Structure formats: structure tokens, C-alpha cells
């Protein structure tokens, strides 16, 4: 028996549940893939963090600048 014959012999509610489950799984898969792809490290943010770290180290060495 082929898979389509087995699927067509199911009750309509069961078919709907199978289709709904497949679509829900697909949507969640795309969502999590997208969030993982977008949420990766941003090269610009890494450069900004590095610059701020170097700036704070330079201030520690020279001392805070007073504007008096």
C-alpha cells in the first residue's frame, strides 16, 4: 500500500491534525532557524565593544579627565 492510500483512508479530522502538525512544525522550524541566523554575532557590535574596552583601559592608565 502506498502512503497516499493510507492517508486517504484516515478520518477527515485525523487528516487535518496531521496537516496542522506538519505546518506548525514547519513554521516553528523556519522561526527558530531565522532567529538563530539573525541573532549571530554582529561584526560591527564586536568592533564597538572592543573599542570601548580599549578606551576604558586608556582612561584607567591616564586617569579620568576632569573638566574643572
* Helix count and strand count (H, E) for the chain: 3, 0
Joined grid coordinates for residue 49: 565593544
Overall average pLDDT of the 5-24 stretch: 92
Are 45 and 38 spatial neighbours (Cβ–Cβ below 8 Å)? no
pLDDT level of residue 65 (50, 70, 90 thresholds): low
Do the beta carbons of residue 41 and residue 49 sit within 8 Å?
Answer: no
Does residue 6 contact residue 14 with C-beta atoms inside 8 Å? no
Query: Three cell numbers at 12?
Result: 477527515
Integer-rounded Cα Rg, in Å, for the chain is 28
pTM passes above 0.85: no
Amino acid at each position: 500500500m502506498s502512503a497516499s492510500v493510507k492517508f486517504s483512508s484516515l478520518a477527515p479530522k485525523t487528516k487535518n491534525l496531521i496537516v496542522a502538525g506538519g505546518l506548525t512544525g514547519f513554521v516553528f522550524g523556519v522561526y527558530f532557524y531565522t532567529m538563530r541566523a539573525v541573532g549571530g554575532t554582529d561584526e560591527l557590535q564586536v568592533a564597538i565593544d572592543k573599542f570601548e574596552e580599549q578606551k576604558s583601559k586608556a582612561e584607567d592608565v591616564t586617569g579620568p579627565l576632569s573638566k574643572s
